[in-house]
Chain A
Amino acid sequence: MKKKRYFGRGAMFLLCAVFAILFLLPTVLTITNSFMSESEINANYGMIFSTTTGGYVSKTVNLKFIPDKVTFSQYVTGLIKSPEYLLKLWNSILLVVPIVIFQVAVAAVAAYSFTRWRGKIRSGIFFFYVILMLMPYQVTLVPNYLVSDWLGILNKPWAIILPGIFAPFSVFLLTKFMRRIPYSLIEAAKVDGAGEWQIFTRICLPQCRSALYSIAILVFIDYWNMVEQPLILLQDADSQPLSVFLSNINSGEIGLAFAMATVYMIPSLLLFLHGEEYLVEGIANSGSVKG
């Protein structure tokens, strides 16, 4: 019996390991391939991404993990020689940072309202937020486009930032976190004569600091990799974020694309490694649409 158990666990471990390697593969490939020289990339992938540069091209495609010679030439090209990538990276930052900060701020205030007071009207509104959160882009993009057009912000960063700030996702998640704060804490503050704003800033916010962090990470990752919104709302190529522009790097320079993708991955990777526990907690708490 016991032996069978151990065997079962070993099999599961192996299965998990295989899955894990498959999951990790694209990330690792992106990073290691970014250190290859253009000629090495050409030799390996030239069959697929035909280029005019010539040189040796392997007959078969080699999925290669370890560069023959580690070189930073792709990074030099992308970050120093051609400023457009840095410009697009800057665009990404300009779009995403305000969205993260203000979405969390607006959501914190709204979540406090949903936590502190209940009633038919308010639970109706909350339910509406949930429905709205569940709507795919295909539904919300048309309304977004119309408003941007009316407000004259179409093709300007605001067309993405403003709807982003009011996206209902963090309101929903933060409400779920805040509802766990013991009511006695609020009651005590009220007895001591604290106003609503004080209860909110002095009691609620410090209590859900980790929740705010985990939501910020989730929102950041979501918007950092956005594609749909800029494609429609920001058709001017100069103001598009790097997430969209990365795909425009032409196929002759895929080494460069790997390098820029690695650069683009760094912020989310750092956030991920630093705040994985928070991230997991944030995801885990989004787990049920009820209550």
Chain B
Amino acid sequence: MALQMKKRKLNLKERTIDLLKSLCFLSPSLLGVGVFFIVPFGVVVYYSLIDGVGSKNFVFLENFIKLFDNSAFLMAAKNTLSFSAVAVPLAVVLAMGLALMLECRIPLKSQFRTFFLSPMMVPVASVVLIWQVLFNFNGTINEFLMVFGADKIDWLQSDYCQIVVIILFLWKNLGYNMILFMAGLANIPKELLEVADVEGASETYKFFNIKLRYLSPTVLFVTILSLINSFKVFREVYLLTGDYPYEKLYMLQHFMNNTFRSLDYQKLSAAAVVMALVMVVLIALLFVAEDWFGKDVEG
């Protein structure tokens, strides 16, 4: 913002020099991004459109059609989407709740913040061990349930498995999201809330009409971030249950990993392109939604 204040109109020569200078500084990063991301992604798009790395016949959408006929891919996509559809909204709402609670001048606020962030440090493998102790058929949670006379549940080998992974996901990500919301809350103009107090606005009114509107960029970002992190939950699932978990836990990354083993470039490329497209569409949709909801408070 501050940097281009009051810039006079530059002539063409100055503009070219500026462009060259800026590209100089950008070049190391741009070069790396080009070599490691852009060029190979172009090749991935190309691979997704040909019938084989050897024969190189152009087949247009055939690989995609095959991909959508592939039951493993469909299952993985369905599981990943249904997991994200539950986990992401929960991660956003609960993190906002935590942030709002910590806002209310309660004692030990900064200690709580530290505790909520602590899951970031724990190595995945030890998280997985603990989760096994908790959710094993003979594990702590089941022992606890039995005290109340409930039946034991085979958490990881039944339809409950997604719950286990959602809890894990929330445990891991809520702290980070909470910090984002706390930063968002700190940016709300204090006068506005004071005026609302003087006018006798209720807490609900203040929340929906003031706080939520100012938080909408944060909500957008936390949603996108949680979405990406929900794709990363594979890490924990993989370490909990291996290459071929219970059906409901077979995620897209499992599909990718297993396809990597057979090095089926066409299948892999088509899957990567589909995912990239889905991500771009989702992100664009979220941007549109945020623009629509928060338009009168920005700027």
Contact = CB atoms under 8 A, between A and B. Distances in A.
Given A48-B133, A225-B124, A23 B171 contact: yes
Interface stretch (A74-82, A205-213, A253-261): A253-261
B269 A227 contact: no
A134 B116 contact: no
A162 to B, nearest CB: 6
A134 B287 CA distance: 13
B214 to A, nearest CB: 11
A35 interface: no
A283 B22 contact: no
A70 to B, nearest CB: 19
A61 B256 CA distance: 36
A9 B4 contact: no
Contacts of B24: 113
A254 B269 CA distance: 39
Contact of B104 (A9, A140, A225, A227): A9
Interface string A270-291: 0010001001100111111111
Nearest to B240: A247
Interface residues of B, number: 99
Nearest to B186: A284
A60 interface: yes
B43 A143 contact: yes
A165 B107 CA distance: 41
Nearest to A117: B22
Interface in B220-235: 220-221, 224, 228, 231-232, 234-235
Contact of A246 (B2, B115, B125, B139): B125
A7 interface: no
B74 to A, nearest CB: 15
B101 A12 contact: yes
A18 to B, nearest CB: 11
Interface in A95-130: 106-107, 109-110, 112-119, 121-122, 125, 129
B61 interface: no
A243 interface: yes
B192 interface: no
B126 A61 contact: no
B183 to A, nearest CB: 3
B140 A61 contact: yes
A138 B138 contact: no
A163 interface: yes
Contact of A23 (B15, B19, B119, B123): B119
A116 B36 contact: no
A182 B2 contact: yes
Contacts of A109: 25-26, 28-29
B58 interface: no
A171 interface: yes
Interface residues of A, number: 103
B235 A228 contact: yes
A178 B104 CA distance: 32
B127 interface: yes
A263 to B, nearest CB: 9
B289 interface: no
Interface in B10-42: 15, 18-19, 21-26, 28-30, 32-33, 35-37, 39-41
Contact of A27 (B98, B118, B221): B118
B2 A13 contact: no
B238 interface: yes
A188 interface: no
Given A113-B26, A121-B19, A261-B126, A135 B276 contact: yes
22 contacts: A13-B107, A23-B116, A23-B171, A30-B130, A110-B26, A110-B30, A134-B279, A137-B231, A143-B43, A144-B36, A147-B39, A166-B36, A183-B4, A268-B120, A276-B114, A280-B179, A284-B180, A285-B183, A287-B183, A287-B184, A287-B217, A288-B218
Interface of B: 1-5, 15, 18-19, 21-26, 28-30, 32-33, 35-37, 39-41, 43-44, 98, 101-102, 104-108, 111-134, 136, 138-140, 143, 171, 174-176, 179-180, 182-184, 217-218, 220-221, 224, 228, 231-232, 234-235, 238-239, 252-253, 256-257, 260, 268-269, 271-272, 275-276, 279-280, 283
Interface of A: 8-9, 12-13, 15-17, 19-20, 22-27, 29-30, 45, 47-49, 60-61, 63, 106-107, 109-110, 112-119, 121-122, 125, 129, 131-132, 134-147, 162-163, 165-166, 168, 171, 179-183, 186, 196, 200, 221, 225, 227-228, 231-232, 242-243, 246-247, 249, 254, 257-258, 261-262, 264-265, 268-269, 272, 276, 279-280, 283-291
